[in-house]
Amino acid sequence: MNALTRSAPWRGTAWVFGKLGFSGRSLVIAIPMLWLGVFFLAPFFVLGRISLAEAIIARPPFTPLFDRAPDGSLEIFASLENYRFLLEDALYRNAYLSSIRVALVSTIFALLIGYPIAYYIARAPEPKRSILLLMVILPFWTSFLLRVYAWMGFLRSNGVINNMLLSMGVIDSPIQMMQTDFAVYIGIVYTYLPFMILPLYANLTKLDGALLEASSDLGASPMVTFFTITLPLSLPGIVAGSMLVFIPAIGEYVIPALLGGPDTLMIGRVLWDEFFSSRDWPVASAVAIVMLVLVVAPIMWLQSVQNRRGMD
């Protein structure tokens, strides 16, 4: 490491930055601040502004916010028409509701599958624990798109599962699994399972083993101990893991597009179609703004829960 610090590139860079007067604290703060301000924060203002515009056939395909009226005065054009449209059209309402339902069901399944794994890993002795943990994270590193694709080969009517069940004689004709809500649940649970397991694991490793011993010494069965001690104490992990699955699941596009059927309505997909197929940018923006509210609300709630816990 010493050779690295003494090496010419590090020293050269340090010297150049020093000469530029870069030691100023504000300049260092400015770089991430400006980048994120321009490319993360500003886009939301543009999004909000375009959600108030009207779609027109032109480049760009929406009305400008300011316009010159015929008499030369400046006119501001902004309307809540798109939002009214979202409220009145049953398609959007259903899409929002069904996104929440799909995300909720998937989160529950992820919790049911993830909890035993997290519990088991947290209780495992050391070398085994690290290996199991790595095995949970590993699939997360391989391409998300290809992992969803892998399920297409699994769930198809002539896919692996159906072929297996047919050859074992469990079923006579293939079960329709692709293009159903079931396939979407599987896709979401599969993709986001590590996000459920990791916070649960982090929480369960902190669990004091003495509490469990005390409980069993006092005559409680493992079941009773689990439901009166382990489960309540792991609630913060459950909340954190559930949020990490629920929030991205709401806006999911790829999974319903590949595994879902034509009637699997999810808001991410509606937004995508509104933008790419209908080319209605203002309506797509309004859909995004409402979705943002849906996503931000649970995050704010989580934050307030955590703050309250911090104060206790």
Min separation Cβ 105 and other proteins, Å: 16
The single residue among 8, 57, 146, 218 that binds other proteins, judged by CB under 8 A, is 146
As to burial, measured by CB atoms within 10 angstroms (0-12 exposed, 13-18 middle, 19+ buried), residue 147 is middle
Site for other proteins in 192-251 (CB under 8 A): 193, 222, 226, 230, 244, 247-248, 250-251
Question: Six-digit token pair at 254?
Answer: 């790829």
The single residue among 55, 105, 166, 257 that binds other proteins, judged by CB under 8 A, is 257
Site for other proteins in 84-123 (CB under 8 A): 113-114, 116-117, 119-120
Toward other proteins, which CB reaches closer, 92 or 281?
A: 281
The answer to whether residue 47 forms part of the interface with other proteins (CB under 8 A) is yes
Give the chain's count of helices (H) and strands (E): 17, 2
SS3 assignment, position 76: strand
Q: How many CA atoms lie within 13 A of 191 on its CB side?
A: 29
The site map against other proteins for 150-189 (x = CB under 8 A) is xxxxx-x-xxx--x--------------------------
Toward other proteins, which CB reaches closer, 71 or 293?
A: 293
* Inter-residue contact 260 to 181 (CB < 8 Å): yes
- Pick the closest to residue 285 from 48, 90, 94 (CA basis): 48
The single residue among 98, 203, 264, 285 that binds other proteins, judged by CB under 8 A, is 285
At CB < 8 A and 24+ separation, what contacts does 231-235 make? 233/203, 233/207, 234/200, 234/203, 234/204, 234/207
The answer to whether residue 281 forms part of the interface with other proteins (CB under 8 A) is yes
The single residue among 83, 85, 149, 182 that binds other proteins, judged by CB under 8 A, is 149
Site for other proteins in 51-90 (CB under 8 A): 60
Toward other proteins, which CB reaches closer, 71 or 170?
A: 170
Toward other proteins, which CB reaches closer, 181 or 271?
A: 271
The single residue among 78, 97, 138, 300 that binds other proteins, judged by CB under 8 A, is 138
The whole-angstrom separation of Cα 267 and Cα 246 is 14
> What are residue 64's phi and psi, to 5 degrees?
-70, 155
Binding segment for other proteins among 67-75, 78-86, 87-95, 128-136 (CB under 8 A)?
128-136
**Range 26-46 burial, b when 16+ CB lie within 10 A, else e:** eeeeeeeeeeeeeeeeeeeee
Min separation Cβ 159 and other proteins, Å: 5
The answer to whether residue 14 forms part of the interface with other proteins (CB under 8 A) is yes
Beta-strand ranges (E) seen in the chain are 66-68, 74-76
The single residue among 134, 168, 170, 210 that binds other proteins, judged by CB under 8 A, is 134
Binding segment for other proteins among 73-81, 83-91, 141-149, 165-173 (CB under 8 A)?
141-149
Min separation Cβ 85 and other proteins, Å: 17
